[in-house]
Amino acid sequence: MKLLLITEEELKSCLQAHLAGLPLRAEALPLRRAIAQLGKLGWERENLSAILSADPQNPDLATAAEKIQKAKIPYLLALSGGVTPLGLRSMTPEDVIFLDAPDDHIRKRLSRFVSWLGQEMSAGENEIIVRTNATRLPIRIPVNEVEAIHAEGDYAVIRSSGSSFVLRTSLSRIMLTLDPQQFVRIHRTHIVARDAIEQICHRGQQSLEVRLRNGDRLPIGRTYKRRLKRLLSDHLDNDVMAPEAIVTDSGASTGNLAGIRDGIS
C-alpha cells in the first residue's frame, strides 16, 4: 500500500522523521497540490492511504479532508498543535495525533495506523486472506468459496459458504486483489464470482439482475453490463465450462452461458 503524506511544507520533515523505518512507501504531497489533484486522478481506484497534516486553523485542512473522504482513502490526521481544527465535525480520520506530543507517543500512534492498514485484504491464486480487528489473526477463505462481496457504507462484506466477513475497505480496493477472470463488479455495491452465477434475469422492463446459486438476487448497474458481458464472452472464447443459465423474464428457464451473454444489452 502506498502512503500519501499530505502536509504543509514546514511539517514534512518532522513527519518523515517519525515515519522512518515503518513498512510503508511514503510520497510527500503539498497540501494545496493535493487539493487540486484529489478527485481528478481517480485515486479511489488505487490502494492508497494518507496522513493529512497541517495547522489546525488552516482552512485548507477541512477541504483536503473532504476530498480524501470522497475518494474513500483511509487517513490519519496529524495536527501541529492541540487546538480544535476548523471543520472537525465533518472529518472522519482513523486516528488523530498532535505533533507537539512526546516522540514515543507519536511513533506509537503512527505504528498503530500502519498496523491497521495491514488488516485489510490480500489475495493469492487460491485463497483470500482477511485480517480483522476481531480476531487479530488471518482468516483464509478459499477463492472458490467466495460467492459475492457487498459494500455497506464504509465497509465490505464478503459472502462465503453461508458465512460473512466484514472489512473496513472499499470494493475498488478489493477488486485490485481479485482475478478479473473469476470476479466481476456488477454494481457499485456488488462484486460477484463468475462461478456463483446461476441466472441473469430481467428486473422490470429496463433492468437486469443476477441470481446466485445461493438464491440471492443482485441488480446489475447500467454502467457494469458491458464488463459482465465481456467476462462471459472471454470464457466462451476460451471454451471454459460455465454455470447453466439464461436471461429470462421469469427466471425459471435455464440454458447455456451464451444465452446469458446474448441477453445482456
Helix (H) or strand (E) holding 214: none
- Higher-scoring residue by pLDDT: 148, 29: 148
C-alpha cell at 37: 489533484
Choosing from 64, 96, 117, the residue where a domain stops is 117
61/31 same-domain check: yes
What does pLDDT average to over the chain? 77
The domain total for the chain is 2
Residue 75, CA atoms < 13 Å, CB-side half-sphere: 26
150/237 same-domain check: yes
Q: Is 68 helix (H, G, I), strand (E, B) or coil?
A: helix
C-alpha cell at 33: 497540490
138/41 same-domain check: no
236/255 same-domain check: yes
150/251 same-domain check: yes
36/67 same-domain check: yes
pLDDT band at residue 211, thresholds of 50, 70 and 90? very high
pLDDT for res 150 = 95
Report how far residue 125's alpha carbon sits from residue 226's, in angstroms, rounded to the nearest whole number: 25
Domain that holds residue 137: 121-263
What pTM, to 2 d.p., does this model score? 0.51
Choosing from 62, 85, 117, the residue where a domain stops is 117
Report how far residue 217's alpha carbon sits from residue 214's, in angstroms, rounded to the nearest whole number: 9
Region 38-63 average pLDDT:
76
Choosing from 117, 139, 155, the residue where a domain stops is 117
Helix axes 9-19, 103-117, angle to 10 degrees: 80
Do 159 and 151 form a contact (C-beta atoms < 8 A)? no
> β-strands 127-131, 138-142: how paired?
antiparallel
